[in-house]
Each structure stands twice: as structure tokens, then as C-alpha cells.
Amino acid sequence: MDTYYQAMRAHGLSRNTVDSLRKFTCPNCGFVFSITYARTFACRGCPEVMNSCPKVRCAKCDYEFYFKEAPHINGEMRERQISQHVTSVVKNYYDEQGWKKNR
């Protein structure tokens, strides 16, 4: 277990939350962001965002790639868990903000 996760767990965050908030770099343009940030802003309006889409889109260059390309997500099971977790977070955010889930 890595030190970052242990520190976040001490604050009551789950593994899914930690992995969805962990920063990584876009392989296309080098922009640093989290999966939650990308799903909330870059993927806003995409109909797949509410269907546990296994992709993430860079908010700067719109390059789209799979979660499994992020260095901290290992395997299809983790990819699916993170995708479902982020979908529920974004759904709750949209519901609270009153945003429509389509473009």
C-alpha cells in the first residue's frame, strides 16, 4: 500500500475516492488533472458519462484515453470500480447543480 493512500485513508477516504482524485498527466499534452475533474468538466454533456464509461478526456486538449492508461489503475476490475465510483460522484454533482446530463 502506498504512502499517499495511507495518508488519505487516515482522513476517511476510500480507495476509489483516492484513485479518482489522484493526479496524472495527459499523454497527449502533458496537462495534469484528476479523473473526477475530467469527468465533471471535459466529459460534461457526453451521454456515456452516466454509463460508467471506461474513458477519460483531457480538459485541455480533448484527447480521450482509457482509465487503464493511468499509472495508478491496475487491471480491468480497478478500471470498472473507478468508473462506477466517478459516475456516481458526477451524477450527484449534476443533481446538486441542476445540470442536464446531455449537451
- Domain ranges in the chain are 3-97
Number of H helices, E strands in the chain: 4, 4
Is residue 15 very low, low, confident or very high in pLDDT (cuts 50, 70, 90)?
Answer: confident
Q: Looking at 1-103, which runs of residues are DSSP E strands?
A: 24-25, 32-33, 55-57, 64-66
pLDDT single digits (tens) 25-38: 898 999 999 888 88
In percent, how much of the chain has pLDDT > 90?
8
Is residue 3 a contact partner of residue 53, using CB atoms and an 8 Å limit?
no
Is residue 1 very low, low, confident or very high in pLDDT (cuts 50, 70, 90)?
Answer: low
Residues near 69 by Cβ (< 8 Å), separated by ≥ 6? Answer: 27
